[in-house]
Structure 1
Amino acid sequence: MTKKILIAYYSWSNNTKQVAKKLAQALDAELLELTVKSNVFSTDMYETSKIAKTQIKTGFFPELMTKIPAMSQYETILVGSPVWSGAPATPIHSFLAQIANFKGKVATFYTDAGSVGAYGEIFKTWAAPLTVVSIYHKEKDILTWAKEVIEK
């Protein structure tokens, strides 16, 4: 039986979306774009960063508009996110909270325009109690990384 893979991602500027699509095609994985209402974030990167920092500080994370499928059908979930001020985008927190009972492997990849900061540590904190098996690091080819995650 083939290992069923889901690539769930949030993309603010389409960079993460492009990476997620390429991975899905190469890995024969299903894609799930995580979306929020159009008025949640600004089109300005710095304003969006401020909004996200406030969401993290207050614990009021954005509601996802995406219908989440039954996670039990997947063995591995690769979660893609832009890096916002050294953290995953806040819709990722909302997604991870909704899949907290998932029993398979979870790994994360990111796109960034600068410093990755504490992305990995924050992702792991947000993902608890999920089994996070890997966090992508830019030094490695992303497709090679993803294949290694799936084969673990």
Structure 2
Amino acid sequence: MRKKSFLSFLIMLLFAVTSCSSDEPTTTEPGSNLSGDAGKTLIVYFSWGGNTKTVANHIHNLIGGDIVEVETVIPYPDTYEEVTQIAPGELASDYRPELKTKVDNMDEYDTLIVGTPIWGGHLTLAMKSFLASYNLSGKAIAPFCTHGGSGTAQSVNDIRSVCPNSIILGSLAVYGSQVENSRADVERWLKQIGIIKNN
């Protein structure tokens, strides 16, 4: 499918800003770890071409619970060429797309596992729009991303700017071409940040 075949090319040429060795398919960046119970956890992700969804599904298979895909009212185009025309202008203007996705019971969640591809070195604006829609003060946020060479880039700082009163846990970055085989790395990360308790 054209969308899948262009995804790695899209991430590497348009959205990757800094370089990261491909010898390290998954990286974790420091942050807080949960010292107690994660409580009720929500996995929430935005995925343009399917890579971030794959990682989100690994997480869901490992911990269960609730999972939500962030969807925009106006969908992003399916083709590489069209997305490359739209995304830079949205990032420059800090555009907040209108979302179809709403979580009515957000108060019930103690921890959010938040997934996004890296666009232009940043959190996608769909995810930024989602996070800005709720009062997430006091909640723990575990960020993960898929990328073509940038690692988490500025995405964790973007989350901090939108959620200044949340507890940001250590982050995970997964190379887009290696998401299918990332389950073990995902499990290791979830243990490192305390979502999965070591026996």
What's the TM-score bracket when you normalise by the shorter of the two chains? 0.7 to 0.9
Amino acid at match of 1:146: L
Structure 1, residues 88-145: CA drift from partner, whole Å, max 9, x if none?
2111101110123443201110111232332322232233232212222459922221
1:45 corresponds, among 70, 74, 80, to: 80
Tell me the percent identity: 28
Higher relative contact order, chain-length normalized (CA < 8 Å, sep 6+): 2
Secondary structure of the residue aligned to 2:71 is coil
Contact 2:42 2:68 in 1 (8 A): yes
The amino acid across from 1:145 in the alignment is W
1:119 corresponding residue in structure 2? 155
Ranges in structure 2 where 5+ consecutive residues have no aligned partner: 1-36, 176-183
Amino acid across the alignment from 1:85: G
TM-score by length of 1: 0.83
Matches within 5 A, 1:1-152: 3-37=39-73, 39-45=74-80, 47-116=82-151, 117-138=153-174, 141-149=185-193, 150=195
Aligned length: 151
8 Å Cα contact 1:100-1:129 kept in structure 2: no
Tell me the C-alpha RMSD between the 2 structures.
Answer: 2.6
CA contact (8 A) 2:146 2:174 kept: no
Name stretches of at least 5 consecutive residues in structure 1 with no aligned partner. none
Report if aligned partners of 2:40, 2:110 keep a CA contact under 8 Å in 1. Answer: yes
Please say which structure displays the higher CA radius of gyration. Answer: 2
| Counterparts of 1:129 and 1:49, CA distance in 2 | 33
Amino acid at match of 2:124: A
Q: Please report the TM-score for the alignment, with normalisation by the length of structure 2.
A: 0.66
